[in-house]
Amino acid sequence: MAESAAVAGKMQKLDQKERAKAIPSSFLDLKAQYLPIKDEINAAIARVLESQHFILGEEVAALEKEVAAFAGVAHAVACASGSDALYLALLASGVGHGDEVITTPFTFVATAGSIARTGARPVFVDIDPLTFNISAEEIANAITPKTRAIIPVHLFGYPADMAAILKIAEEHKLVVIEDAAQAIGSRHHEKQIGSLGTYGCFSFFPSKNLGCAGDGGMVTTQDPALADRLKLLRAHGSRKKYSYEIVGTNSRLDALQAAILRVKLPHLSTWTEGRRANAKRYGELFRRASLEGRVKPPAPAPGMYHVYNQYVIRSPQRDALRNHLTEAGIPTDVYYPHPLHTQPAFSYLGYGPGDFPESERASREVLALPVYPELRPESQEAIVEEIAKFYSQQQAKA
């Protein structure tokens, strides 16, 4: 820990002005992304305002083609949110009352919430502690005659074990709905996430790697019949005014959001490489500070292209570490402090504390650090130096 103490000492030598400059002011700086493309975005918004066509239309159709090409799929269907993308994929597959859908409890509520909205039962299984993603082995053990689908989550932008999951799904004739809300641009052995399962579901919430100026979502599929059904479902089951083929819902993407996303999409690969470079730098800084034994940074397996929607470390002393960083002015976040099986909304499923120990342990240990593409190297150095300072102080107390 001598090297860790030395790194902490370096932080202490910074004067107040230097330190204030180095520490990022926010966990995610959307203004830093917006300003260089401000004129393009404003022009896109003006184009839509001039057209006065605000729901679906040419902008949305063009975005669908562009996202489909980016994701390597035949079809992309835009909708109102990432949550609705999951819900529509389930509806399009006919999932409903009496069915079971297997997923992870260590995810955002929309994953399981979309299942519950259909009337089906979410069936939780535990995660792989190394990746935070759903365990394929646990999936295999949870299948019953009522199982209709699997929703693997590519959590934090890291691909789930799709090879194993797809094999299980094929054996049992199950639908696979990729929850790729945090994973646009990530790849599983050179195949784009969102192109592997029956559907890929994306979110364009502002904090995502590709975010709009509100809510937005997209469902990808290779199947033209499923794409057609998704388009029906998102628009009240209607192809023409006042004619309804099926009971659908209202989940249409605004043209304004589509126009903004069309400006941003060509920049996505560059932004992704910025996130990946920042993740690599964190790893180097943790090694230099001899912190790898204290915090566990991400370690993607070969062939897994991580896009780092979140850069998540884990530490048994997470809460104390986070409090220390907060006092130092460093923004952090926790994804997710309470697994879904412990939430009151899902108490009717009958799960309780201890049922999914790896998910519960992760919820106690994970800590997300800033990783947005515009984050400066000196900011990362300041963050790691402060983490080293924390552990140096902890060692001194021992």
Cα–Cα distance between 203 and 83 in angstroms, integer? Answer: 7
Tell which of 215, 250, 265 closes a domain. 265
The pLDDT mean for the chain works out to 94
Residue 327 buriedness (CB in 10 A; 0-12 / 13-18 / 19+): exposed
- DSSP letters, 41-77, are HHHHHHHHHHHT--BSHHHHHHHHHHHHHHHT-SEEE
pLDDT at position 293, please? Answer: 85
Q: Is 144 helix (H, G, I), strand (E, B) or coil?
A: coil
22 confidence band (pLDDT: 50, 70, 90): confident
Side chain identity at residue 219, one-letter code: V
Tell which of 250, 265, 280 closes a domain. 265
CATH number of residue 334's parent domain:
3.90.1150.10
Q: How many domains does the chain have?
A: 2
**pLDDT tens for residues 159-179?**
999 999 999 999 999 999 999
Cα–Cα distance between 319 and 23 in angstroms, integer? Answer: 20
Cα–Cα distance between 234 and 212 in angstroms, integer? Answer: 19
Cα–Cα distance between 348 and 64 in angstroms, integer? Answer: 38
Say whether pLDDT at 84 is over 50: yes
Q: Are residues 259 and 278 in the same domain?
A: no
| Average pLDDT for 384-396 | 91
Q: Are residues 46 and 184 in the same domain?
A: yes
Q: Are residues 256 and 271 in the same domain?
A: no
Q: Are residues 102 and 147 in the same domain?
A: yes
Segments forming the whole domain that contains residue 297: 2-32+267-397
Residue 31 buriedness (CB in 10 A; 0-12 / 13-18 / 19+): exposed
User: pTM for the full model?
Assistant: 0.93
Q: Are residues 213 and 303 in the same domain?
A: no
Cα–Cα distance between 285 and 367 in angstroms, integer? Answer: 17
Q: Are residues 296 and 253 in the same domain?
A: no
CATH number of residue 218's parent domain:
3.40.640.10
Q: Are residues 249 and 133 in the same domain?
A: yes
pLDDT at position 329, please? Answer: 95
Say whether pLDDT at 11 is over 60: no
**pLDDT tens for residues 213-261?**
999 999 999 999 999 999 999 999 999 899 999 999 999 999 999 999 9
Cα–Cα distance between 398 and 396 in angstroms, integer? Answer: 6
Tell which of 231, 265, 299 closes a domain. 265
pLDDT at position 351, please? Answer: 98
Q: Are residues 200 and 304 in the same domain?
A: no
Q: Are residues 76 and 200 in the same domain?
A: yes
Instruction: Write out the two tokens for 10.
Output: 């370096």
Q: Are residues 131 and 190 in the same domain?
A: yes
**pLDDT tens for residues 87-144?**
999 999 999 999 999 999 999 999 999 999 999 999 999 999 999 999 999 999 999 9
Q: Are residues 273 and 234 in the same domain?
A: no
Q: Are residues 207 and 129 in the same domain?
A: yes
